[in-house]
Structure 1
Amino acid sequence: MKFSEMTYTRPDIDALLARCKELTAKAAAADSGEALVEVYYEQSRAFADYNTAANLANIHYTCDTRDACWKAEQDFFDANGPAVSNASVEISRAFLANPHVDALTAAFGSTCVAGMKNAVLGMDERTVALQQEYNALVSSYQQIYGGALVELDGKQLTIPQLGPYKESTDAAVRRAAYEAEAGYFDAHRAELDELYTKIVKNLNQQAQVMGFHDYSELSYVRMNRIGYGPEDIKRFRDQVAHDVVPELQKVIALKNRRTGIQHPTFADLPVAFKDGNPKPIEGYNARMSAARTMYHELSPETAEFIDFMQDNELFDVESRPGKMSGGYMTSLPSYKAPFIFANWNNTSADVDVLTHECGHAFEGYVAERDPKIPADLECPGMESAEIHSMAMEFLTAPWHHLLFGKDTDKYALLHAEDSFLFLAYGCAVDEFQHIMYQNPDLTPDQRNQTWLELEHKYRPWIDFDALPFYGRGAGWQRQLHIYECPFYYIDYCLSTMAALQFFLLSLHDQKDAWARYLRLVRRAGTASYTELCETAGLQVPFNDGSIKAIAQQMSQWIAEHQV
């Protein structure tokens, strides 16, 4: 069914909550492992219509944050979502109390019961009002960000539409683009500072109600992190600071030599080549045609997938006023349909987001068609889900010439470079959030100073050159995840470590790399991050010394492929 034909009906919350009570009773009363497994499938199906409606509302709202009707529907789910989540937790509690609970592990793998334990630990009816308040705070942030229009080049532009100006070969144009963006964020400085203060205090209050010291502890439960904790993440960040950052400094030196910019500043970071960054082919239809060819030639599975996505209009990727920034993939379970949202701006990032979100969508498409996988186990934890997307960016490389033509080699270098450099930025975001929630009384100026210190630790090559907004250390406020889904960002780093390994494997044997990827995808949400890495024969990056060799290989490849 085409997206335009999918109907939306506001769900009957009372009926859903009543159904949840029935399922809670059935889970408690199941008298055998087989019966318990059947109830698990049943409860998984029970939320399909609600999740479809919630995701349809969110798609329409983020496609136009100014639409009052869809804003009202988003408000409805913001208000009622916590009650539904808590009802789901009660079902999980009943499963966990059933003496046959081990049957669920036997049927669905290691993540099923562990995930329910996290769900129970991460929810509490006493926090419902706080959850509703948090949802409203996030919506306020989305409206400020999504409503951004700035004046540049005689035009009114959205934040994503500034992208090409930031990559201009003219330094004055680049600086003007950053200043225009900075002006908007500075104009909303008080609102953004106040919103973040409220978010930190709200989430810490939720954590304390539930017996945690602060939200940095509770977040690991709510993010459903299985098999690792804050100490593992700290070891990972330490390895990045110690083993990756020195290699990145070599990469930056090569980049500076390549661009010819003698004293690069923050506004020069997007420039990768003296004669301009790689540009993808223009036009929605041309790009979609190239994507169809690419995925038809990659594998039979991806051929079927891309036909389904394009034939059913499951992309909204062009930027326009009122549309929320960023990109995402979401699922419409009642239709077994993924949906991809993005903001193309005629830079190489358009291809990044296309292949990235198609990685998510492909995994969802495969899982939704496996009858043995319950709907709530179709996707693994976020750090694992991002492997699907980030690895897809690299595994489609043999077909990137369809999207870049003469700029293909430039894009290959830029993409490898950016992915490698991202590790440092992602770790800075994660460490920043740990500090914020563990020190909730920091003033806005102290928060900004902390960010500047972390920039120096992880990206010591940056000179902000008195740039407004960024120069005072407020650049973190532009990172949607810090407001919308705290502590998510490190997941991109963990998945990047897997994706870089897929890249290095593909250089030697593309077919083997794809076969490993497909094995990982087919496990859906039934395996943890470490188990998925092992499924594909990848290094797990928590172990001391596990990152250094990968970093050195990436640095060497980049040095050997200067364009």
Structure 2
Amino acid sequence: MTKADVALARTNGFLPSDLRLEQWEDIRPYFQELDEREIAEEEDLRQWILDKSELDAFLSESFSWRYILLSLNSGDQQAVENYHHAVQNIFPHMASFEQKLNQRLVHSAFLDRMRSSQYTTYLRLVKNAVQLFCEDNVPIQTEIQLQTKEYGRIFSQMTIGVDGKQMTLQKASVLLEEPDRARRQQVYTKINERILEDTQALESLFDELVQRRDQMARNAGFENFRDYSFRLLNRFDYLPEDCLQLHQSIACEIIPILDELNLARREQLDLDQLRPWDLNIDACGEGPLHPFTDAEDLLSKGIECLSKIHPDFGRIISLMRERRMLDLESRPGKKPGGYNMPLQLTKLPFIFMNATRTLYDLRTLMHESGHAIHFYLTRNLELISSRRFPSEVSELAAMTMELLAMDHWQVFFPNEANLIRARINQLENVLKVLPWIATIDQFQHWVYAHPQHTREERKAEWLTILKAFSSKVVDYSDLERYMEFLWHKQLHIFEVPFYYIEYGIAQLGAIAIWKRYRETPAQAIKDYVRALKLGHTRSIGAIYQAAGIEFRFDQEYIAELARFVREEIRSLIDQLNAVNRNNASSSVRGNTAA
């Protein structure tokens, strides 16, 4: 399946098997039929919901393919036109009709009889959508959808010259892991200078997005876009104040551990000052780890690794390979980043990423595989709403898979010292990402609470927040011009506002599941799979409980999880030192014998 307008698989029989989405008129009759259909009894309503779910799945997959093809080659004008056409000429009609159908559903005389957990969750989402809908926001939403793609276009065209060759920023960032410090500094400088070339374009883009988003919130009756976003993201289980508590807990419990790790790094590297280009190199001063040779090698080893966690996990990714549902290799013109895209009718996901032979790529594949496996495990749930997960749950699936897989990385690292180095790197990154998540989230809280801010005010607030969540051991002197716009690198701020704190919430949950896995592996996996299979048929808290963990934000809980990771890192460092001593001793004995 390689075209956005292909005839898609059917599940329920409501739509014809040869239906294609090219114009609004192709699907208008099915919206019309649902709007006019008589619902005389409970079973009629149940069938109506199933048919609407099939229509939603068809539209979801059609739009997903357009997005995938645009991601694969941002220079493909046909893909660009297909995507823009759908957003401009199909989506607005869909949004208005969707509201009509949702209103019909919530006013149905048989609604109270829909009492199973999947319907309870679904109806809560529908009622929220009805309350939030505003006709004036439809054209604004269309404009925003088109504008946000400009961010990906700008970054996809960024390259720098290294050793006489042009390379993408993602490929160039790999060089920050090399032992040559002067070269790392040079690459760091080139990357940031290149991003600064587009500073004005990115600043202008964000200015426009902030104003449009603020207008949407006010149109819908909200004081600000933050409060509107919390409702729009269906955050029923926690409040903005909980996020602020999480920020504070991270500052109190995670930053001191990072300072400790950075002091050790500075000492191991024998540096007077630890600079930002010293943060990605192995703390022992070794060269970068290369867990695989190419995308096919990454995939083969990834399947083997996942199979060791649970045989079904490997089988699912193998099926995706057979169906050509992965595009892993980095190349010019590809959208930066990585994602998993559920295909709601095909009942298979698609994994997109930019592999460049790094440890980060290995983590990315495990992460996206977690998303893919999550979706596959829910493929037989009736309603599309049950297969669309709260991000706090979907990221729990993905981040947990990263940590579970780490215990089986022998597949990628037959050398014991390299295996331990990779695990230390992974756990350090688990901690490093939490302050960055808090930084990005707190910045967005401020931005949308002060929508009329100036660029200078925004810059000042960003620097204040960044400083609060940065390690005091790292020396950023003379780099202020890079720091001022560091947030430009974060796609989520531009494309999916407020979708980032979920990573922090899920990371804490993933640590908790991994902790259980270390204690009772079989039960931890059983509970993890059970939680994933629930899809979105329960609340976030109930799904976390099914996984055998708590849904908490308080400092005491975060301190407990942070201590566990800290002790694991210390244990791994001790193991690495022992291996290195043993290797050195063996080398001396060999030389003596010679």
Q: TM-score band (shorter)?
A: over 0.9
Q: Supply the AA of the counterpart residue of 1:387.
A: L
Between 152-161 and 445-454, report the one with greater CA deviation: 445-454
Aligned runs of 1:129-144 on 2, under 5 Å?
Answer: 129-144=139-154
| 2: CA distance, partners of 1:544 / 1:91 | 44
Residues 1:199 and 2:199 are matched in the alignment: no
Between 211-220 and 274-283, report the one with greater CA deviation: 274-283
Aligned runs of 1:84-123 on 2, under 5 Å?
Answer: 84-108=94-118, 110-123=120-133
Structure 1 match to 2:282: 272
Closer, same or farther: CA 278–505 of 1 in aligned 2, 3 Å: farther
Q: Supply the AA of the counterpart residue of 1:313.
A: R
Q: Supply the AA of the counterpart residue of 2:387.
A: E
From 532, 539, 558, the counterpart of 1:528: 539
Name structure 2 gaps, 5 residues minimum.
Answer: 8-19, 577-594
For the aligned residue pairs, the C-alpha RMSD in angstroms reads 2.1
Between 406-415 and 78-87, report the one with greater CA deviation: 78-87
**May I ask how many residue pairs the two structures share in their alignment?**
557
Conserved? CA contact 2:249–2:554, under 8 Å = no
Question: Does the residue aligned with 2:354 lie in a helix, a strand or coil?
Answer: strand
Closer, same or farther: CA 240–17 of 1 in aligned 2, 3 Å: farther
| 2: CA distance, partners of 1:86 / 1:355 | 38
Closer, same or farther: CA 506–276 of 1 in aligned 2, 3 Å: farther
Closer, same or farther: CA 345–508 of 1 in aligned 2, 3 Å: same
Conserved? CA contact 1:110–1:528, under 8 Å = no
Between 538-547 and 227-236, report the one with greater CA deviation: 538-547
Question: Does the residue aligned with 2:324 lie in a helix, a strand or coil?
Answer: coil
Structure 1 match to 2:516: 505
Conserved? CA contact 1:383–1:494, under 8 Å = yes
| 1: CA distance, partners of 2:512 / 2:492 | 25
Closer, same or farther: CA 257–17 of 1 in aligned 2, 3 Å: farther
From 300, 314, 317, the counterpart of 2:328: 317
Offset at 1:296?
3.1
Q: Supply the AA of the counterpart residue of 2:125.
A: G
Closer, same or farther: CA 25–255 of 1 in aligned 2, 3 Å: farther
| 1: CA distance, partners of 2:106 / 2:47 | 15
From 432, 436, 446, the counterpart of 2:447: 436
| 1: CA distance, partners of 2:288 / 2:550 | 32
Question: Does the residue aligned with 1:335 lie in a helix, a strand or coil?
Answer: coil
Q: Deviations over 1:42-69 (max 9, x none)?
A: 1111123222221111111111101111
Q: Deviations over 1:236-292 (max 9, x none)?
A: 222222233223322333333344444111222222321134321212222222122
Offset at 1:109?
5.7
Aligned runs of 1:172-321 on 2, under 5 Å?
Answer: 172-273=182-283, 274-321=285-332
Residues 1:17 and 2:28 are matched in the alignment: yes
| 1: CA distance, partners of 2:356 / 2:54 | 38
Q: Deviations over 1:96-153 (max 9, x none)?
A: 2224324444241653122112322333211111111111211211111111122222
Conserved? CA contact 2:237–2:541, under 8 Å = yes
Conserved? CA contact 1:290–1:402, under 8 Å = yes
| 2: CA distance, partners of 1:298 / 1:548 | 28
Aligned runs of 1:466-505 on 2, under 5 Å?
Answer: 466-467=478-479, 469-471=481-483, 473-505=484-516
Closer, same or farther: CA 7–34 of 1 in aligned 2, 3 Å: closer
Structure 1 match to 2:580: none
Closer, same or farther: CA 151–113 of 1 in aligned 2, 3 Å: same
Q: Deviations over 1:25-58 (max 9, x none)?
A: 44xx534444323222111111232222211111
Structure 2 match to 1:465: 477
Q: TM-score, normalised by structure 2?
A: 0.89
Question: Does the residue aligned with 1:44 lie in a helix, a strand or coil?
Answer: helix
| 2: CA distance, partners of 1:120 / 1:272 | 52
From 63, 80, 90, the counterpart of 1:54: 63
| 1: CA distance, partners of 2:4 / 2:130 | 37
| 2: CA distance, partners of 1:457 / 1:114 | 38
Offset at 1:520?
0.9
| 2: CA distance, partners of 1:384 / 1:470 | 34
Q: Supply the AA of the counterpart residue of 2:538.
A: A
Name structure 1 gaps, 5 residues minimum.
Answer: none
Conserved? CA contact 2:4–2:69, under 8 Å = no
Q: Supply the AA of the counterpart residue of 1:347.
A: T
Structure 2 match to 1:77: 86
Closer, same or farther: CA 437–269 of 1 in aligned 2, 3 Å: same
Conserved? CA contact 1:390–1:499, under 8 Å = yes
| 2: CA distance, partners of 1:486 / 1:391 | 24
From 524, 537, 544, the counterpart of 2:548: 537
| 2: CA distance, partners of 1:443 / 1:184 | 24
Q: Deviations over 1:378-425 (max 9, x none)?
A: 131112111111101111223211123322211111111101221111
Detail structure 1 runs of 4+ shifted over 6 Å in the superposition. none
| 2: CA distance, partners of 1:4 / 1:18 | 23
| 2: CA distance, partners of 1:508 / 1:86 | 51
Structure 2 match to 1:425: 436
Closer, same or farther: CA 220–21 of 1 in aligned 2, 3 Å: farther
Conserved? CA contact 1:206–1:215, under 8 Å = yes
